[in-house]
Structure 1
Amino acid sequence: MISESTYVKRAEVIAQNEESAVADFAENVRQPDMAGVIFFCSADYDLDRLSLALGEQFTCPVIGCTTAGEIGSTYQHGGIVGFSLSSEMFRIHTSVIDPLIDFNPLAAKKLASDLEANLQFSESLDSNKMFGLLLIDGLSCMEEQTVASLFNSFAGIPIIGGSAGDSLKFEETRVYVEGRFRTGAAIFSIIETHLPFKTFKLQHFEPSNMDMVITGADPSRRIVTEIDGAPAASEYAEIIGLEIDKLTPQVFSTHPVMLQIGNDWYVRSIEKVNEDGSLTFFCAIDDGLPLPVAKGVGFVDTLKKQVEQIEEEFSNIEFTLGCDCILRRLEILESGEKPEVEEQLNKINFIGFSTFGEQFNSIHVNQTLTGVVVGKLD
């Protein structure tokens, strides 16, 4: 059961008409003196009409993006979910990165300097008093460079983020800021708060003993041409014990690969087999990387442990904002575990969206839930 929040008002709307959807959404999230509104919406809306309606309803800062499905008290599709934040406890400072193709470390440093100058609860960037939220075009293939540049420029402030979706069309994804939807762009926001918070990364995979090494890759196109010196698709199929014609999206979702960075493991997912026998990934893959195939360790069990840890740490949860991979959504729909997952998410006042990719600090990942919990410590 979603519990009442003091400084956050949330909404979940399913409506085909853009004006009605935004009116219902605004009615539910409106509160006195709003610091800003964050929303996630279906890409099936007429986005021009939706942006016009949003502009008519709100005078405070509003940011959002299109999704591969919205997540509130339930996994919904074809609507809007989101929330407003009270200015008593929050400030939102937003920068537009448009076009993404021009963003680089130097631009990230300038962005950090500009945002730092506008802080209101602190005099300087402070990882204990603020966190970053990145919403980015999910078809840009620019997530790796963007989030790495941001994290390196923002003095270790924790960052979570999600790549916008368009259901499962893979045609065009958009982010919303300054009154309009944009493609080929990103929104980076620093959210200051007087409340305690904690960011987290959750995945339900661990490395197996099935190892492989990338021996041919084009990272800019996220394509792997060779694994262990052999054509990528056939070698991957042999490693997991299948014929190449049996490689399906379902196989890829249950047999991703993993990359070790420091002491942590991160999931790298495969999108498809190409006609030339190469593999396209959802993340950039570099030549020479050792990548063990992952094995699942229980979706609901790992989520339940994370929720229990959050509940032990926080006596009250204002909200949990989460960016959750579309492949995780597809997995629970197929397994029939959706009710159990929704039950766990409601315990932590979860709201977010199904993504085409996730960001955590400096890393772009797949098949992962990245999030931030805001509330009062126990």
Structure 2
Amino acid sequence: MKTFIGTGVGQPEAAVHQAVQGLTSPSAILFMASYEHFKETASRLKELFPDTPCIGTRLVNGQVNDSGLAVLGFFSDVKIRCGIITEASRCPVAGTTQLLKQIAEISPGTDDTVCVEYCTGSEEKLVTTFTSCLETKGIHLAGGTVFDVPDGKPPVVAYNGELYEDACVYALIKNTTGKIRVYKENIYEKTSAQSHFATKVDVSRKALIELDGRPAADVYSAELGIPRDKIVDNVLVNPMGRAVGNQVFISSMNGMDTDGTLTNYKRINKNDCIYFLSLGDYKATEQQTRQQIQQDASHISLVLSIDCIYRYLLYEKEGYFSTYAKDMASLGPHLGIVGGGEQYNNQHVNQTMVCVVFE
């Protein structure tokens, strides 16, 4: 599968000029740019490639600085359809008619199609919407949530030169020359076999009010020995995890009310089984993931990764992020972004890496 990755820095006109050098006749474009330059970058790419579908999101990655631009181009050896779901917080199901039509147009096969999406929020509603259309066709989902928006500004995504709030942009991609695989990496593990049940929640706030009939913060503090006022600051070491079957999906705390309610980036539902997690040997986990990817794919054409901001902050704190980015690039052509949340198949998750590998 042929792909193009270009980067640029500086003001939008110069950055776009640098990033698209050598890019000719793409069938679709994905771009990542800083918030400050986002609108002008989207407009400029539309001018240069008026007939090419194009989606974009906020950029933070290990290849270019925060004022830069990354452009990913696809070509005729993929079948690709781009689209947008508007009013994501109110009625994302309205986008299913177009999505189903596009799925039929690319005729997905077995393990050769993925839906890559970038959204401004409302992740649980969007994941449910996508799952209803993708799951029966065997199409994997991988996505990220916009984050780090300037104060007073709305999160936005780009579609064909225009910016949208309360929306999700996506690309349905079928690889005609090989497989597409999606991976989820969790560097945390259960602190113990002790599980807890969410007995009182407020899903509208993504708030966990009680665990096992007690204030959530009290249960967390008692099991981990962390003072109440340190719980939120401890999220990089001990997040919570929601158990679904044999898997645990991370939910990151972002605040605490005076009554011991913990607010989170991932919604926790009543009666969910919750574990407290601890940071594992992340370097060993990263190596295992790369080895699995190399074992699964005979030839890697592209690696597209989405990391949580909390993983980024942890790795920066540990002085590991640049090594991590280089190790990911060792797999093959790599483009990574950092988001405020990640989507993996039928789940919205936090503090996780989601990775799409194209043969």
Q: TM-score, normalised by structure 1?
A: 0.87
* Distance (whole Å) between structure 2 residues aligned to residue 283 and residue 25 of structure 1: 34
Aligned mates of 2:91, 2:218 — CA distance in 1: 37
What letter is aligned with 2:266? C
- Do the aligned partners of residues 227 and 161 (structure 1) sit closer, same or farther apart at CA in structure 2, a change above 3 Å counting? same
- Are 1:218 and 2:202 an aligned pair? yes
Give the secondary structure class of the aligned counterpart of 2:177: coil
Aligned residue among 356, 372, 376 for 2:340: 356
**By how many angstroms is 1:309 displaced?**
1.6
The whole-number CA distance in structure 2 between the counterparts of 1:340 and 1:275 is 40
Preserved CA contact (<8 Å) 1:223 1:280: yes
Counterpart of 1:159 (choices 124, 141, 146) is 141
The 1:170–1:373 alpha-carbon spacing in structure 2 relative to 1, beyond 3 Å, is farther
Query: In structure 2, what is the equivalent of residue 94 of structure 1?
Result: 82
SS at match of 1:316: coil
- 1:184 alignment counterpart: 166
Distance in 2, Cα, partners of 1:169 & 1:318 = 38
- Answering whether residue 20 of structure 2 is matched by residue 26 of structure 1, we say yes
Task: Show CA shifts across 1:246-286 (max 9, x none).
Answer: 2343x012111112212222111111223453211011111
Q: Deviations over 1:333-378 (max 9, x none)?
A: 0011123212211112321210011011111011111111112xxx
Query: Gaps spanning 5+ residues in structure 2: where?
Result: none
Among residues 319, 323, 329, which one is paired with 1:340 in the alignment?
A: 323
For 2:43, the equivalent position in structure 1 comes to 52
1:353 to 1:125, Cα distance in 2 relative to 1, 3 A: same
Question: 2 CA distance for matches of 1:363 and 1:221?
Answer: 18
> How many angstroms apart in 2 are the aligned matches of 1:48 and 1:134?
19
Residue aligning to 1:3: none
Rounded to whole Å, the distance in 2 between the matches of 1:66 and 1:189 is: 16
Q: Which residue of 1 aligns with 2:66?
A: 77
Instruction: Measure the CA separation in 2 of the matches of 1:308 and 1:171.
Output: 41
Q: Go from structure 1 to structure 2 and tell me whether the alpha carbon gap of 1:104 and 1:81 turns closer, same or farther (over 3 Å shift).
A: closer
Query: Is 2:198–2:212's contact at 8 Å kept on the other side of the alignment?
Result: yes
Compared with structure 1, are the counterparts of its residues 248 and 224 closer, same or farther at alpha carbon in structure 2 (3 Å cutoff)? closer
Contact 1:322 1:370 in 2 (8 A): yes
* Percent of pairs with identical residues: 22
CA offsets per residue over residues 162-181 of structure 1, 9 Å max, x none? 11123686953211102111
The 3-state SS of whatever aligns with 1:199 is: strand
Q: 2:212 aligns with which of 213, 228, 245?
A: 228
2-structure distance, mates of 1:241, 1:294: 13
1:100 CA drift (Å) = 0.8
Distance 1:43 1:274, change over 3 A: farther
CA distance in 1, matches of 2:307, 2:14: 27
CA separation in 1, counterparts of 2:32 and 2:140? 21
Q: Which amino acid aligns with 1:143?
A: E
Q: What's the C-alpha RMSD, in Å, of the aligned pairs? A: 2.1
| Match status 1:149 vs 2:143 | no
Counterparts of 2:140 and 2:167, CA distance in 1: 21
Instruction: In structure 2, give the amino acid aligned to 1:163.
Output: T
| 1:7 aligned residue | 2
Q: Partner of 1:264 in structure 2?
A: 247
Mapped partners of 2:95, 2:131: distance in 1: 9
Q: TM-score, normalised by structure 2?
A: 0.91
Counterparts in 2 of 1:285-300, with a 5 A limit? 285-300=268-283
Counterpart CA distance in 2 for 1:103 and 1:10 is: 34
Residue 97 (structure 2) aligned to one of 89, 96, 110:
110
Q: Distance in 2 between matches of 1:299 and 1:12?
A: 29
Contact kept? 2:8, 2:14, Cα under 8 Å? no
- Residue 96 of structure 1, CA deviation: 1.1
**Distance of 2:104 and 2:320 partners within structure 1:** 46
Q: Please tell me whether the aligned partners of residues 175 and 186 of structure 1 are also in contact (alpha carbons under 8 angstroms).
A: yes
Match of 2:358 in 1: 374
Question: Cα offset for 1:14?
Answer: 2.7
Helix, strand or coil: the match of 1:101?
Answer: coil
* Count of residue pairs brought into register by the alignment: 353
> What is the CA distance between 1:109 and its match in structure 2?
4.3
C-alpha separation between the residues in 1 aligned to 2:186 and 2:159?
30
